[in-house]
Amino acid sequence: MKPLHVVVLASALFAFSCSDKTKNGSFEFKGKLNGSNGETIYFEKLSGTQPVVLDSAVLDENGEFEFTGYTPKIGFYRLKFNNQNFALLVLDSSDKVMLSADAADLKATYKVEGSPETKVFLEFNELSKARDLRLDSLNKVFQSTMEQYKMDSKRMDSLSALFEDPYNAIVNQANVAIVEKIKQNTDKYSSLIAIQALEPDKYADLYKLLDAGLSKRYPSERSVMMFHDVVTKMVATSIGQTAPEILLPSPDGSQIALSSFRGKVVLVDFWASWCGPCRKEMPNVVKAYAKFKNKGFEILGVSLDQDKDRWVEAIAKDGMTWPQVSDLKYWESAPARLYNVQSIPYTVLLDKEGKILDKNLRGEALEKRLEELLN
C-alpha cells in the first residue's frame, strides 16, 4: 500500500519548489487563448497543499495575456481559469514562455515554446498517457470477462494470472521509453516526476544518474537535495550492502536489534495491521517460517502501526510467532525511512553476515530462495 516513492517525493516537490520569487528578472510569460471572452486567468505556483496565486490577467479582445515582474525559481506552476481547467508547467528563471491553447480546455490543448523543462514534462506526460490508455483498455476487458462469466474468487484469481503477462508487458514497454527519456534529460527537473514511475531497486543506476545531474545543476534546490537524500539511502540499502541496524521495542517493551540475528538468514518484513496486502500475504510468510525456522531462518517484523493494541491483535490473529518491533510512528517509522520503504508489504532478505541478498520476495519466490540458501 501507498504508491511507489510518488507520494513522498511529489509532495516534497510541490512543497519546496518555487518558494521564492524576485522582481525585474529575465523571465517572460505570454500567451494567446482561442475562444476566450475576456476572462481572468491566473498564474500559480504549486506549493504545499494549496497552490499560491502569483499573478492574474484579463484576456484582451484577441485572447492574449502577459504576466510581468516575476522571476520564479525552477519548479512546478499552473495556468488556470479554475481547478478543472488548467495547464501544468515546469518553469525556470530564464524562460521566455509563449503559451497557446483553447480556452475551453487548457489541459488537453496547450502548447508551450520557450520553456525547455515544460517541453520535457509534456513528453513524459505523453508516454504516461499512452501507457494508461492501454492499461485502461486491458482493465475493461478484464472487468467485462469477469462480469460475463460471473466468476467466483478462485476463477477470478486464475483470470488475474492470465492478464498479468499483458499487464506487465504494457508497463515494461512504457518503462523502457521513460528510462531512455530520463537518460537524455538527467539534468532536467521534470525528470524528478517521471522517475517516480520506476522502482528504485530495479532502476538504481538511473536514480544515481539523475541525482548526479540534478545535484550539479541545482545544488541548493531543496527538492533536489531531498531527492539526493532518497538516493543516498537507496544506495546504502542496495543488494550487497550490510543492512543498517534496527533497534526497536517489541510489544512487551524489550529492545530487539537486527544485528542480534547474525548467523541466521533473516527476512526483515515491513508491514502494518491496517495494510490489506500485508495481511493477505501473511499466510505465505507463516508457511515459510514454519518450514525453515529450524534450519537457520529468522524473521524480524517491523510494523508501521500507530495503535499498539491493533498491532498486537494482528500479530496474534495472523499467527506471527517471530520477533516483532515497532516505534508506532506510521510512515515516520525510523527503520522505514532508513530503508527507504515507499510501500508495504516490503521485505529485505539478509544472509548470515547481515548483507542484503534480495528485496520484496514473496510467496513461492521467497520459499524458492530459502530452499537455495538453507537446504
**DSSP codes of every residue in 111-163:** EEES-HHHHHHHHHHHHHHHHHHHHHHHHHHHHHHHHHHT--HHHHHHHHHHH
CA distance 169 to 175: 10
The per-residue pLDDT for range 265-288, each reduced to its tens digit, is 999 999 999 999 999 999 999 999
By C-alpha distance, which of 271, 240, 251 is closest to 341?
271
Q: Burial code of 183-201, b = ≥16 C-beta within 10 A, e = fewer?
A: eebbebbbbbbbbbbbbbb
Rg of the chain in Å (alpha carbons): 25
Residue 319: the pLDDT is 96
Residue 175: the pLDDT is 95
CA distance 6 to 193: 8
Residue 253: the pLDDT is 95
CATH topology of domain 247-374: Glutaredoxin (3.40.30)
Concatenating the DSSP letter of every residue in 49-89 gives TS-EEEEEEE--TTSEEEE-S-EEPSEEEEEEEETTEEEEE
pLDDT over 90, % of the chain:
76
Helices 204-217 and 222-236 cross at an angle (nearest 10°) of 150
CB 323 within 8 A of CB 282: no
Query: At residue 104, what is the residue type?
Result: A
By C-alpha distance, which of 338, 328, 335, 337 is closest to 304?
328
Kindly indicate whether the domain formed by 6-114 is annotated with CATH number 1.10.3470.
no
Residue 17: the pLDDT is 43
Query: At residue 110, what is the residue type?
Result: Y
Q: Which bin fits 194, alpha (ψ -120 to 50), beta or left (φ > 0)? A: alpha
Given a cut of 70, the residues of the chain with pLDDT beneath it are 1-25, 151-154
Residue 195: the pLDDT is 95
Handedness of CA 253, 305, 317, 281 (dihedral sign): negative
CB 200 within 8 A of CB 207: yes
Q: Give kind and range of the element (H or E) at residue 324.
A: strand 324-325
CB 249 within 8 A of CB 325: yes
Q: Give kind and range of the element (H or E) at residue 183.
A: helix 153-183
CA distance 225 to 66: 33
Strand order in the sheet with 85-91: 52-58, 40-45, 75-82, 85-91
Grid coordinates representing 24 are: 525585474
Q: Give kind and range of the element (H or E) at residue 359.
A: strand 356-359
Handedness of CA 298, 275, 165, 159 (dihedral sign): positive
pTM of the model: 0.75
Grid coordinates representing 107 are: 489541459
Strand 111-113 relative to strand 96-102: parallel, antiparallel, unpaired? antiparallel
CB 269 within 8 A of CB 288: no
Parse the chain into domains and list their residue ranges: 6-114, 119-236, 247-374
Residue 235: the pLDDT is 87
CA distance 220 to 76: 17
